[in-house]
Amino acid sequence: MIEAGTKAPGFSLPDQDGNEVSLADFAGRKLVLAFYPLDFSPVCTDQLSLYQEVLAEIDSRGASLVGISVDSSYCHRAFREQLGLRMPLLADFNPKGEVSRAYGAWIDQVDHGNRSLVLIDEGEVKWAYASPSPLEIPGANLIFDALAG
């Protein structure tokens, strides 16, 4: 997992609508990257639904949250619509997992991202967390603790 104090790796990934979203788009604002394995899996559905419930509070603390997985933009759009999600979902699709790997949020054995959270501010990683298992959801309390710290 990427360590606090590290310069955040730049990225440019398509969102659920095919629009390119880059790290630079969040300049001047804190950014929480929420890496997750796959759209439509039961645990991922719970994870993103939880973050949707607290999205307004994250925003009120001066931060944005985006989800990142290896699914395509088309899959992200359907997943987002089904769950009523408002946060952007970025497709780390091609090359598969490139951004997830750059942030240390990748599990080679299963060939997809791990459930991980990364807080970036002013281009620097301020905090990062990797779940010990892809079945364990990083709670919203971790995000709020990181934003307060």
CATH number for the domain running over 12-21+28-148: 3.40.30.10
**Global pTM exceeds 0.95:** yes
Phi, psi of 21 (to 5 degrees): -125, 130
Task: Give the CA distances from residue 101 to residues 36, 56, 59, in Å, rounded to whole numbers and listed in that order.
Answer: 12, 29, 27
Question: Is 149's pLDDT higher than 90?
Answer: no
For 66-126, the DSSP string reads: EEEESS-HHHHHHHHHHHT--S-EEE-TTTTTHHHHHTT-EETTTTEE--EEEEEETTEEE
Name the one residue in this structure whose structure tokens are 């779940």.
131
Residues 51-71 have a mean pLDDT of 98
Q: pLDDT tier at 3 (50, 70, 90 boundaries)? A: very high
Distances (CA, A) of 71 to 30, 76, 120: 25, 7, 23
Domain spans of the chain?
12-21+28-148
Q: Which pLDDT score, from 0 to 100, does residue 32 have?
A: 98
* For the chain, percent of residues with pLDDT exceeding 70: 100
Does the pLDDT of residue 148 top 90, yes or no? Answer: yes
Please state the rounded mean pLDDT for residues 11-32: 97
Q: Provide mean pLDDT across the span 61-77.
A: 98
Q: Write out the catalytic residue numbers.
A: 44
Rg of the chain (C-alpha set): 14
Query: What's the Cα-to-Cα distance from 40 to each of 37, 43, 96, rounded to whole Å?
Result: 10, 8, 18
